[in-house]
Amino acid sequence: MRLALIGDPVGHSASPRIHRTYLEEAEIDGSYVAIRVPSGGGAVAIRRLQTEEYTGCNVTYPLKEEVVSACDTLTDEASAAQAVNTIFFGSRVIGTNTDGIGARSAIEGLLDEPVALKRIGVLGYGATARAILAELHDCDAYTFVWGRNAERVDETCRRYEAQTWPKRNPPEIVLSTLPPEAVLPDDLVAALQLPDLVIDANYGTRSVLARSLHRDVVPGDAMLESQARASFDFWLAHLDRVAGV
């Protein structure tokens, strides 16, 4: 079972360690490598991995949107987000997205209850944010979106039946999908002192939101592990289907 991660950067990624652990636990002879692929190279990388008989791959920034066109089939999750973070190479290239599942599982693990009817704010409107908003919408959460581009915020809110960031009474739960280098405006920093729970989708040394906000922030490790497990299960399920044909 040959697996890979493509994106840029990938040197910091914990995905190889996580998936190698899954392979060992499942007693599967396989490998998982990280391959740096800059923006614009996603489709070519997908074709190369398929030619080299990889079983599947994960896709990270900045390729999640551009590899959509390289897939023959998209799952509902990938279609909803218009972004792919997991691919299976069979007779057809199948793309899915497990970012939303990962975020929901992480939030529910921290709350010890479902996200239904919770007020959850998402910072950002990129590929990861859209996958999370789609999942939360399907799970009946009330969602809010913050971003610098008002037009893109409005478009995102319409697509996922979310609301724009409230001027008063901020959401009790906030999940940031912003890059580590993002500089937040003072009014947002002040508003983010109020939520009961703030989660940073970044993890490890890239999780710096706590320093910007001067408050406790949950790093994205649990999100990563949950979406990684969903990706691994996706590959196994498709391998089982192929074996059953």
Q: Which residues are catalytic?
A: 64
What distance in Å separates the CA atoms of residue 45 and residue 58, rounded to the nearest whole number? 12
Nearest to 204 by CA among 184, 226, 224: 224
Q: What 3-state class would DSSP assign to 198?
A: strand
Q: Phi/psi at 6 (nearest 5 deg)? A: -125, 145
Residue 171 falls in which region: left (phi positive, over 0), alpha (psi -120 to 50) or beta: beta
Q: Contact 78/95 with Cβ under 8 angstroms?
A: yes
Closest CA to 5 of 70, 76, 61, 80: 61
Helix (H, G, I), strand (E, B) or coil at 6: strand
Residue 103 contacts residue 175 (beta carbons within 8 Å): yes
Place of tokens 């409230």: 166
Residues 102, 224 contacting (CB under 8 angstroms): yes
Residues 6+ apart with CB under 8 A from 79: none
